[in-house]
Amino acid sequence: MTVVDVHTHMLPQAMRAGDWPPALAVGLRTGEDGCLLGATGERLPAHYPELTDPAAALARMDRQGVDQAVVSLTPHAYALGTGPEATLYARAANDALAAQVAGAAAAGRLTGLATLPVGRPEDAAAELERAVTRLGLAGAQITTGPVAGRPLDRADLTPLFAACEALDVPLSLHPSYCGPLRDPDLFLHNSVGAPLDTALAYARLAASGTLDRHPRLRLVLAHGGGVLAQLLPRLDNNWHYRADLRTRAQHPPSAYLDRVWCDTVVHSEPALRFLKETFTEARLLLGTDAPYGTGVADPVPALEQADLNPHALGESAQHLFRRGCGPAGRAVVHPDTSLRTASSSPA
């Protein structure tokens, strides 16, 4: 019986320098005092040791009763650019993350998710294949959008979605503060904007027919799917009411939930019970959003109070991310991933 946390973040030391080309809009930059700043200008708490140190992350997991964790790059550092340097950056980030989770300090307890140059869909598909087959990563995590100013269903991501299906790996959707609510005033871009972004991303993929065209695409939605559970009845009602929506998607949005998993970062027992009622326990995955303070500090008791079995959720996570059990030590850093040689297109 294993407890698995599917929503944790790291920032490998190699990616912390902040010396990225200006065209690479990863949402991460260095302030005058040397601290890291997010896209909206707030300080990134890179002082969390577990953000960069696998040993510290394992110590936190021990305190939380977590056996294994699925790790992704902090969303402040996604590769959001459209030039070739975005592909080079994603390669470097995935090499660094793969080396970190496969290192001796990780003790086989960490699994990584790739970051992808979604502004370059063909490159994103190729990088996913490399990350899975050569680096042993378990899938990928991308922004909820927009990508190059367009929502996910209009961003020409067919090559990436097809690659996820062919490789049989899940695609995790995580907000990166680039949706409709960006203003950091009152921290509402996080409190309201993040859950709105996640629900909006899924709603567009379902209502646009994208999920009809990719029937084997499996999605993991951050933060309990955002506000999706509350909106599903309205989304379904409008699909039944409006003939134009029925020409775009073959089914109402709730009909595609058999390919969706949500984490449990929702902060209350009633919210967890509502998730269970909406998605079923088989579609829920324990999450903490560690190391950030906006996450869930004590996840196992929180699940048990809502009559959810952490070990059952762990079994679901192990099956979903099974490709992450690749051989250790497969991470390879390629010379052509240098960000300082990003003037030409990568091979």
Is 333 inside a domain boundary?
no
**Rounded CA separation 313/28 (Å):** 33
Q: What angle do CA 156, 93, 110 make, to 5 degrees?
A: 105
Domains in the chain: how many in total?
A: 1
Is 344 inside a domain boundary?
no
**What range defines the domain where residue 126 resides?**
4-326
CATH code (residue 103): 3.20.20.140
**Rounded CA separation 31/76 (Å):** 14
Is 346 inside a domain boundary?
no
Is 123 inside a domain boundary?
yes
Q: How many CA atoms lie within 13 A of 189 on its CB side?
A: 16
Is 215 inside a domain boundary?
yes
Give the type of residue at 149.
G
- Count the neighbouring beta carbons within 10 Å of the beta carbon of residue 172: 24
- pLDDT tens per residue, the chain (347 residues)? 899 999 999 988 777 765 565 545 555 666 666 666 665 566 666 567 888 889 999 999 999 999 999 999 988 888 888 989 899 999 999 999 999 999 878 878 999 999 999 999 999 999 999 999 999 999 999 999 889 889 999 999 999 999 999 999 999 999 986 566 777 788 888 888 889 999 999 999 999 999 999 999 999 999 999 999 999 999 999 999 999 999 999 999 999 999 999 999 999 999 999 999 999 999 999 999 999 888 999 999 999 999 999 999 999 999 999 976 433 333 333 333 334 333 333 33
pLDDT of residue 331: 36
Is 275 inside a domain boundary?
yes
Is 341 inside a domain boundary?
no
Is 336 inside a domain boundary?
no
